[in-house]
């Protein structure tokens, strides 16, 4: 998926630098060529010889290297790549980037480049949590730098928390996502998927049978067309696809908050089976059997995420797509639902018993839009996703 792509890989000085060797391999396996840059601190953790041997090319190390400068000046080096990846990005490197310092080769390249930059931070958890690092992170994000990770887990220093370098596979997936070509390149698309869980007490919840299969297929189809996909998913049984930003949530309330945080987007596709009600009397202690009788649950209506997005006054996505799973009068109900929710398209399907659609691999849908109702033949959910993604790309291309 990265055939012909050129990656400038800046390796900072942290214990996680050893993973950059594996990263070079994985990027090459995906078809990319890698030009490595090793900081002075990076050389303390991996040797220029290993980096050079693995990448099959010279390692750039020095700002004032006359030979290197004669072969390819640092300005040209900073701009000759399709993507600049900093892995591991140390707290120090991130601080330099945020401040615009240029006192060694890595920081000078990062200041001189006009290419997209992606950083994969790795540092001790306290350094990551420090307000200075968080300030720098916010500055970098505002400057358009993409951030991968860090992951949470045990660290070489013996502490536990966020600060671990993302795994090479995760970094390659993010690079592929960034460089994917296709009709949705440059478009940001939100997909909600899966069921929601509404707590009754800390161990019990109300849920539904949604597997998340159609939402996963859609997210995959949108990402493979070059879209930047934010995938907000409830606890689904089908795993999220690679190459999308996954935001796991539990309840409808969490889902709405995650959706609002993901805005603005060019298109929103609400495939989630959001619970209509939540338990207002949810207890923070496990409910116990009692001689006084059965527990009584009080319910309140959940926020309607699709309706909320459709009625945004500021920053409404150009295209909002909802789903309508019905067991009878499919067309009538779905047409009314489109009006009620205010979305542009409704994808309606019959989930009555005997169709095998709920939880199955196939779907038979009708696409309802301003143009009327269009019934598609029964096909695999992945095929429904492909055709819908093509329609979404075509609609956004008109903007």
| Interface residue list for ligand C5P (CB under 6 A) | 192, 252, 270-272, 274, 302, 304-306, 322-324, 337
| Closest to ligand C5P by CB, 108 or 302 | 302
Q: Is 381 helix (H, G, I), strand (E, B) or coil?
A: helix
Strands 267-270 and 188-193: parallel
Size (the chain), residues = 399
**Minimum Å distance from CB 122 to ligand C5P?**
37
Token pair for residue 116?
């997209």
Region for 296 from its dihedrals, namely left if φ exceeds 0, alpha if ψ lies in -120 to 50, beta otherwise: beta
Cα atoms in the Cβ-side hemisphere of radius 13 Å centred on 20: 37
Q: Is 362 exposed, middle or buried (0-12, 13-18, 19+ CB in 10 A)?
A: middle
- Are residues 215 and 272 in contact, defined by beta-carbon separation less than 8 angstroms? yes
d(CA 96, CA 116): 17
The residues facing 330 across adjacent strands are none
- Of the residues 138, 157, 300, 380, only one is catalytic, namely 157
Residue 251 CB, nearest approach to ligand C5P (Å): 11
The least distance separating ligand C5P from the CB of residue 228, rounded to whole angstroms, comes to 21
Tokens found for residue 211: 């597997």
CB atoms within 10 A of CB 2: 22
Taking the least distance from each CB to ligand C5P, the nearer of 243 and 322 is 322
DSSP labels, 116-170: -EEEEE---HHHHHSHHHHHHHHHHHHTT-EE--PEEEE-TTS-EEEEEPPPHHH
Instruction: Name the DSSP letter for residue 59.
Output: P
Q: Kind of pairing, strands 228-233 and 188-193?
A: parallel
- Residue 343 a catalytic site member: no
Q: Among residues 291 and 328, whose Cβ is nearest to ligand C5P?
A: 328
Residue identified by tokens 């690079």 is: 175
Q: How far is the CB of 321 from ligand C5P (least distance, A)?
A: 8
Closest to ligand C5P by CB, 140 vs 306, is 306
CA distance 37 to 40: 10
**Contact yes or no for 47/58 (Cβ under 8 A):** no
- CA 23, 24, 25, 26 dihedral sign is positive
Which residues are known to be catalytic? 157
């Amino acid at each position: 998926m990265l055939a012909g792509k050129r990656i400038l890989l800046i390796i900072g000085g942290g214990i996680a630098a050893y993973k950059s060797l594996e990263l070079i391999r994985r990027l090459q396996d995906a078809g990319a060529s890698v030009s490595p840059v090793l900081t002075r601190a990076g050389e303390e953790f991996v040797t220029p010889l290993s980096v050079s041997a693995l990448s099959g090319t010279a390692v750039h190390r020095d700002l004032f290297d006359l030979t290197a400068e004669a072969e390819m000046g640092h300005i040209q080096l900073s701009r000759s790549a399709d993507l600049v990846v900093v892995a591991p990005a140390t707290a120090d490197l991130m601080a330099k980037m945020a401040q615009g310092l240029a006192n060694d080769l890595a920081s000078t390249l990062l200041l001189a480049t006009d290419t997209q930059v992606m950083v994969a931070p790795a540092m001790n958890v306290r350094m990551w949590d420090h307000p200075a690092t968080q300030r720098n992170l916010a500055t970098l994000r505002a400057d358009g730098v993409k951030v991968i990770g860090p992951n949470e887990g045990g660290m070489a220093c013996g502490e536990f928390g966020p600060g671990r370098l993302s795994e090479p596979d995760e970094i390659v997936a993010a690079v592929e996502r960034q460089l994917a070509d296709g009709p949705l390149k440059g478009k940001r698309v939100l997909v909600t998927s899966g069921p929601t869980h509404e707590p009754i007490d800390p161990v019990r919840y109300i849920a539904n049978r949604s597997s998340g299969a159609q939402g996963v297929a859609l997210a995959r189809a949108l990402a493979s067309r070059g879209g930047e996909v934010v995938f907000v998913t409830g606890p689904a049984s089908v795993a999220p696809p690679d190459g999308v930003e996954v935001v796991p949530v539990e309840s409808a309330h969490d889902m709405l908050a995650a959706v609002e945080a993901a805005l603005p987007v060019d298109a929103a596709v609400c495939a989630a089976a959001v619970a209509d009600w939540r338990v207002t009397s949810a207890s923070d202690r496990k409910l116990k059997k009692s001689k006084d009788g059965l527990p009584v649950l009080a319910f309140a209506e959940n926020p309607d995420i699709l309706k909320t997005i459709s009625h945004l006054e500021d920053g409404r996505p150009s295209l909002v797509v909802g789903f309508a799973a019905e067991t009878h009068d499919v067309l009538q109900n779905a047409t009314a639902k489109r009006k009620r929710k205010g979305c542009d398209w409704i994808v309606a399907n019959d989930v009555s018993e005997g169709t095998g659609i709920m939880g199955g691999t196939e779907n038979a849908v009708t696409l309802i839009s301003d143009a009327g109702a269009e019934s598609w033949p029964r096909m695999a959910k992945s095929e429904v996703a492909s055709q819908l993604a093509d329609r979404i790309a075509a609609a956004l291309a008109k903007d």
